[in-house]
Structure 1
Amino acid sequence: MNFYLRRKFFAVVIFFFSCFALHAQDSLSKYILTPKESPSPKINGPKVFGVRPNHPILFTVPATGTRPMAFSADNLPKGITLDAKTGRLSGSISKPGEYILLLHAKNKLGETKRSFKIVVGETIALTPPMGWNSWNVYASKVTQELVAANARAMASSGLINHGWNYMNVDDVWQGKRGGEFGGIMSDSTTFPNMQALVDEVHNLGLKIGIYSTPWVESYGHHIGGSSQNPEGIFAKTTENVPRNKKQLPYAIGQYTFWDKDVKQWAKWGFDYLKYDWNPIEVPETKAMYDLLRASGRDVVFSLSNSTPFASIGELSKIANAWRTGGDIRDNWKSLKSRLLTQDKWAPYASPGHWNDPDMMIVGWVGWGKGPYPTHLTPDEQYSHMSAWCLQSVPLLLGNDLTKLDDFTLSLLTNDEVLAVNQDPLGKQATVVSKVDSCGVLAKDLEDGSKAAGLFNITDDITRRLSVKWSDLGIKGKYIVRDLWRQKDLGIFNEEFSADVPPHGVVMISLRKAKG
């Protein structure tokens, strides 16, 4: 095939792929439940924020509405400033304690205000982290430009205005050891200037995360935090060594360089660490926790993968999040295994410490072989998002943010659904009733109301599912609200029932009716 024919062939392929993608987007539009945003100002996101004494604060007030918008705050503590144009809080606070601010957002259509608590102490991540991770879309093909493009899309799409803020680089960013501290430097062919990437993400009002392992070699066959030689020189293995058996290179080497790596991450300015190995053990976790705590920055510390339940009592005290299982994929079998199965982990979840069933699989995913639209149906995606929010787990998107269609945006910008995830009480929903394979997840919220999800796990029939007041420990009349549609459904007494489609969910809140 000559050059002209090849070019014409690929042009036709791209044309038909684009038509397919547009058709897929149009076909999903009919499933949108989230109402359109109001042009009037509205403050969203978490109502509480944790920071350690004297550590830098980076927090962008999430607010929707027509721009330009002016931000202000009453009762700003000493050492903190709020940018009136961007809504970014910055600075540091030296004295431990709780500081109650009153945030204001104003545009040409009106003004709104909301209370916001800053807790200065030892606990960070007082609500589950919300953001993005590169693995489920790019896997080993991630680059600096791809991360930067997704960060820009996080901001320009408006996701940042709903509380999404972490941009996390997963495995294969690593190059050789070097630099000022002897830490791992970025691969110059794929991440030519890590400092520039961190600065760009921060300048967008977002935060950024990094990946590592205490092993000699990472899952993606890049340098880890230890070595068999004192220089830390790394060579990819050519042996077929089974993982998770404490055999090199998937084991901790004789010489460790964790302190050097942390110093390098702190210099760059990272805000999140995904620490990945198996089996996850307490000594290595505690060692990394201590190093991060001494780094001068608040770094969310997330453990991956398949945390041993036998150790969760100890691990949950020193980690901010921990994977409760293996890797997720974009199919119903993988998602179903995480929907009504997390109850045993619930006692260990609390503000600052979160169970993690893995990253999200909505939108355009790919694992380096795409991206392509997720194989989950719309109902399955609603179940996915509802369960993750009810269970108070980290919301880490695994999709291409430069390919956000209207349906995916509607999934990710429903502030009433997200508020269930970000509720300051930090309660994880548990199964309160089951009928066959279907079930109801429910949780308490800080304001005294309840949130629940009625999940139909069956494959082929719509089911009439109910949530009974006796299962929730309440009595009397309650107003039931459809959270996805942001619409009150009426006053109910003793129970609420709804028809739920196969693989689908009805997500509601219940608040006490007056009188």
Structure 2
Amino acid sequence: MKFRLFPTLCLPLLCSGVAWAIEPDLTGSTLPPNSMWLEKLNLPLALNKIGAARAAKSFYNNPITLGGVVYAHGVGLGGESEITINLRGVAREFQAQVGVDDEVNKAGDVSFAVLVDGRTAFESGEMKGGDASKFVQVDLTGAKTLVLRITNMGLADYGNNADWAGAFIRLNPNAKIAPTIVGIPQTVSFPSILPATSKPAINGPAVLGFSPNRAFSYRVPVTGAGPLNFLATGLPAGLKLDAKTGLISGQVTKAGTFAVSLTASNAAGKAQKSISLRCESALALTPPMGWSAYELYGSSTSDAKVREAARWLVKSGLSAHGYRTILLGDAWQGRRDAQGNLQSNTRFPNMKGLGDYLHSLGLQFGIHSAATEHTATGAPGSLGHEIQDAQQFAAWGVDYLTYEWSPSTEDTKPMPQLEEKEKTTAAMEAAFSTMQQALRKTNRDIVFSISVPSLEVVTYPNKIEVATLAKKVNANVWSERNGLYDDWKVMSNLVISKMNTAVYVPFNAVNAAAQARALSALSALSGLLARTPSGVATKVLPSTPGTPAVAVPANPATSSSGNAAPAVNVPAPATPTTMIPAPVPATPGTITVPAVAVPAPATTIPGATSGAVTLAVPAPGATSGTTTPAVPVAPRILPIPRPTPPPPPGPGFWNYPGALMMGRVGYPTLHLSRLTPGEQMYQMSMWSLYSAPLILQDDLARLDPNLLYPTTTAMLTNDEVLDINQDALGKQVMAVSVGWPCLIRAKALVDGRFAVGLFNSSDLPRKVRVNWVSFGLSGDQPVRDVWAHQDLGLFKDSYETLVPAHGVVLIKVGTAKGGVTQ
């Protein structure tokens, strides 16, 4: 066998075989025996968000300097970066000193991580400019891949100049080849666009809810060339189908669940779909889909603009995929007349006429009011006029009411402050309940959606439990106004800080350092490996029956201080422990879920689990950040009490995190969405897995910036993605991984399969692996990429793929059972 020599190294000198026992001086110019400087690798292949990696220099091309100490060697970077090194099995150890370079003074906010064969061997935690540098020493014996990762922790992309100072790799004395950097291809995301077809397809939800003795109207959403003919069997008495338009309408007097078979046909073929009609006073059994006028037009929203948008919702084909609710927003109100009746303003001369027009197109009519004296724009609210307003809304043909909480300085009856949790919750509950009861006394089904102000300014103990409140007042949809707009950081921060608060985590695993940050950012909840203050990773080893789990250093030979880490014994936990099997060993750069010790719960409560976590307890007197290495001690399995979880989303009860940021959007002025196509797919995938209402806010007349490649339309009309959102089971999404920046979310579907999203929130492509055991599957499972509309084949026990930066891979896993094919 011939070996290819690394061109920039003199291997005879590199592998001289000289033995040494003295720790090297990382600041000097003398290379330790059998070693190579990190900067001698092929640095152009390193992935960097900003600029290029600097060899033996800081990012600004100055001498590498940490805490006033100058280093002759190392690699300087501009922050977010990843260096993936193929070790070729010849490496023994990696050493470096890490930190934010002195050249940016107090600026900079990063974290460092070292991964060995996909497993985290070192994590620095958050490091800011001026913080003391940290020493890294990682055993590489037998390892194949080393990943050196820097992550930007703050919002700024610039000024995060960070160094791997004095970094070197020690090799085996007999090494004949040298490690080399492996480039990861930069990938981007675009939705696949299916060729147009004339054949009919029936879309929309497979379940619809309504009340007895109230008007029901539903136009079957169908794509395909016209003219179309419709047929329905199994309709309950009182409902009829228009065979030409596909409109099902009428009134049912007897409660019950009715299985209906729909058929749509044209000259090109025939489509069939089974749906369930539930006449049981249950509304919004799947998340609402539609368009918001106020999000696009603001205070200039008018009857004419809404009618035009409604026509475009139909003409664009969006209504044929299930988008059917038009929301006016806080823009239609005028004043109250002498009798207290709420009038529309001059931009809306005929509210009933507008409602009738929307219904004629097969759409639904949504308006806005407030549970306070005034709305957010100062218009009259419904407080004290609930019954009167509810009757008025029903007379106009309203199908959906957004009801906000908006205390104002103009109110004659001051409301409690948001920080006064108990008083505010009681006031909200009374006001929201009054309107819901008023709506139920009308002769019309009206979906009830409540909205509260952002609670960002409220400290955690005083935060209102909005989901619990919404459940008490029987709201169908609830939201916290969060200021979402088309900015990647705003949207991705919403995903990790807000949307995950109602996500079911199958097993709780949080590291000790994360607990202090868990309330402000779930990104800290990635501690499936415990850490001692000295940085020594520990892992839980599977135990034999009757034997407690044992935590040992992940690298038994060394600690981050360079000293041997003694083996430790762990007493048996107080709670019976069940081991979740460790996943298949990961390939380089793969995000996986390691084995975790989980206490066996005494009772099974849907959506609520008690968890255990492996905690590393510092030696007496040890403090975080000390320059004296802390003594590794035995981690203990400690139960973490979990607060009562909020009621999970499900049929008739959905959380609305904000509008979809696609196409030409209107905040602050009409412009193309600043989210890339990949970021838009990220949002659409997360909203669909989360079962969030899909509400558009774009210019429907100009959906696509490029008519030759209509990406916006392709994303909004991907029926495989929409089916995940509209799944009749309405199950809560599961957090398969709780780390950051790569998230894995899974959702059980009505047909027995799982929808799984592999999300990469970092600025670099990442390999992500999901293991079937995480959601109860095993063995060979078929995988389908729903964005690509492509069957990928059978995969044994897991699936791994490269996920683009700010991107997602959305798949369905498993075999559809019982002939159900939503």
TM over 0.5: yes
Q: Deviations over 1:321-350 (max 9, x none)?
A: 101452211101221023244233244211
Select 1:50's aligned residue among 202, 206, 209: 209
2:401 maps to which of 269, 273, 287: 273
Post-superposition Cα deviations, 1:20-53, rounded to whole Å, max 9, x if no partner, equal xxxxxxxxx9934142343111111100000011
TM-superposition CA deviations, 1:288-330 (whole Å, max 9, x none): 1111111111111111134865253342250001014522111
- The corresponding residue for 1:246 is none
SS of residue matched to 2:290: strand
Q: Which residue identity lines up with residue 332 of structure 1 in the other structure?
A: W
Instruction: Name the residue aligned to 1:385.
Output: 684
Deviations for 1:91-119, whole angstroms, at most 9, x for unmatched residues? 01111110011101000011121111100
Contact preservation (8 Å) 2:689, 2:724: yes
Q: Which position in structure 2 is the counterpart of 1:417?
A: 721
Contact 1:34 1:410 (8 Å CA) reproduced: yes
Given the two structures, how large is their TM-score scaled by the length of structure 1?
A: 0.85
Given the alignment, which residue of 285, 289, 295 partners 1:136? Answer: 295
Report the equivalent of 1:195: 352
How do 1:171-320 residues align onto structure 2 when only pairs under 5 Å count?
A: 171-178=330-337, 182-188=340-346, 190-226=347-383, 256-278=384-406, 281-305=428-452, 306=454, 309-317=464-472, 318-320=474-476
Distance 2:739 2:375 in 1: 43
Q: Among the aligned pairs, what percent are the same residue? A: 39
Q: CA deviation at 1:274?
A: 0.6
Partner of residue 808 from structure 2, selected from 502, 505, 513: 505
1:477–1:512 contact (8 Å) kept in structure 2: no
* RMSD of equivalent CA atoms: 1.9
Query: Which region of structure 1 is more displaced relative to structure 2, 278-287 or 142-151?
Result: 278-287
* Counterpart in the other structure of 1:428: 732
1 or 2 for the larger relative contact order (CA 8 Å, sep ≥6)? Answer: 1
Q: Distance in 1 between matches of 2:275 and 2:813?
A: 24
Deviation at 1:360, TM superposition (A): 1.7
Distance 1:348 1:496, change over 3 A: same
CA gap of 1:288–1:427, structure 2 versus 1, over 3 A, is same
Shift of 1:183: 2.6
Quick one: distance in 1 between partners of 2:651 and 2:209? 9
How far apart are 1:191 and its partner, in Å?
A: 1.1
Deviations 1:439-463 (A, max 9, x none): 111110011100011111002x111
Tell me, which stretches of 5 or more residues in structure 2 are unaligned?
Answer: 1-187, 407-417, 419-424, 456-462, 504-646, 705-709, 818-822
Distance (Å, rounded) in 2 between the aligned partners of 1:159 and 1:37: 15
In structure 2, the residue matched to 1:339 is 495
Corresponding residue number in structure 2 for 1:65: 224
CA distance in 2: counterparts of 1:513 and 1:73, whole angstroms:
25
Contact kept, 8 Å, 1:55 with 1:298, in 2: the verdict is yes
Q: In the alignment, residue 374 of structure 1 is paired with which amino acid?
A: S
Cα deviations across residues 419-470 of structure 1 (Å, max 9, x unaligned)? 00000000132321144421111110011100011111002x1111111112
Which has the larger displacement, 430-439 or 383-392?
430-439
Q: Could you tell me how far 1:192 is from its partner in structure 2? A: 1.7
Give the alignment of 1:104-183 within 5 angstroms: 104-178=263-337, 182-183=340-341
Indicate conservation of the 8 Å contact 1:316/1:348, yes or no: no
Matched residue, 1:348: 648
Structure 1 residue runs without a partner (length 5+): 1-28, 227-255
- Measured in 2, the distance between the counterparts of 1:445 and 1:468 equals 18
Query: In 1, are the aligned partners of 2:191 and 2:681 still within 8 Å (CA)?
Result: no
CA contact (8 A) 1:479 1:513 kept: no
Report the count of equivalent residues: 453
Return the alpha-carbon distance in structure 1 between the equivalents of residues 312 and 717 of structure 2: 14
Q: Report the Cα offset of residue 395 of structure 1.
A: 0.7
One-letter code aligned to 2:435: M
Bigger drift between 470-479 and 427-436 goes to 427-436
Q: What TM-score results when the alignment is normalised by the length of structure 2?
A: 0.54
- Shift of residue 158, structure 1, vs aligned partner: 0.8
Check conservation: 2:365, 2:398, Cα contact below 8 A: yes
Structure 1 position 462 matched with structure 2 position 794: no
Contact 1:453 1:507 in 2 (8 A): yes
Within the candidate set 391, 408, 411, 2:712 is matched to: 408
The CA distance in 1 between the partners of 2:254 and 2:493, in whole Å, is: 45
Question: The residue matched to 1:260 in structure 2 has which SS?
Answer: helix
2:814 match: secondary structure = strand
Amino acid at match of 2:363: L
Secondary structure, counterpart of 2:388 in structure 1: helix
Q: How far, CA to CA, are the matches of 1:48 and 1:436 in structure 2?
A: 35
Distance 1:207 1:436, change over 3 A: closer
Identify the residue that residue 249 of structure 2 maps to in structure 1: 90
Aligned to 1:472: 775
For the pair 1:376 / 2:661, whether they are aligned, the reply is no
Measured in 1, the distance between the counterparts of 2:755 and 2:191 equals 21
Maintained 8 Å contact 1:363/1:400: yes
Residues 397/93 of structure 1: CA separation in 2 closer, same or farther (3 Å cut):
same
Q: Deviations over 1:182-226 (max 9, x none)?
A: 3311102x1122222111111111111000002222111222224
Amino acid at match of 1:118: L
Alignment equivalent of 1:33, drawn from 175, 192, 198: 192
1:207-250 deviation line (CA, Å, top 9, x unaligned): 11000002222111222224xxxxxxxxxxxxxxxxxxxxxxxx
Measured in 2, the distance between the counterparts of 1:489 and 1:30 equals: 17
Aligned partners of 1:30, 1:343: CA distance in 2, in Å? Answer: 24
> How is 1:318-337 mapped onto 2 (pairs within 5 angstroms)?
318-337=474-493
Secondary structure of 2:270's match?
strand
Contact 2:371 2:432 in 1 (8 A): no
How far, CA to CA, are the matches of 2:738 and 2:226 in structure 1?
Answer: 46
Amino acid at match of 1:477: D
- 8 Å CA contact 1:34–1:484 kept in 2: the answer is no
Return 40-49 or 279-288, whichever deviates more.
Answer: 279-288
Structure 2: how far apart are the matches of 1:457 and 1:94? 51
SS of equivalent residue, structure 1 residue 175: strand
Matched residue, 1:11: none
AA in 2 matched with 1:284: A
* TM superposition shift of 1:399: 1.1
Q: 2:292·2:696 contact (CA, 8 Å) conserved in 1? A: yes
Instruction: Return the alpha-carbon distance in structure 2 between the equivalents of residues 441 and 309 of structure 1.
Output: 26
Query: Is the Cα–Cα contact under 8 Å of residues 648 and 732 in structure 2 kept in the other structure?
Result: no
Aligned equivalents of 2:663, 2:722: Cα separation in 1? 17
Q: Using the TM superposition, name which of 340-349 and 472-481 deviates more.
A: 340-349
Shift in alpha-carbon separation, 1:82–1:123, aligned structure 2, 3 A: same
Cα distance in 1, alignment partners of residues 651 and 670 from structure 2: 34
- Deviation of 1:512 after TM superposition, in Å, equals 3.3
CA contact (8 A) 2:371 2:405 kept: yes
Counterpart residue identity of residue 403, structure 2 = Y
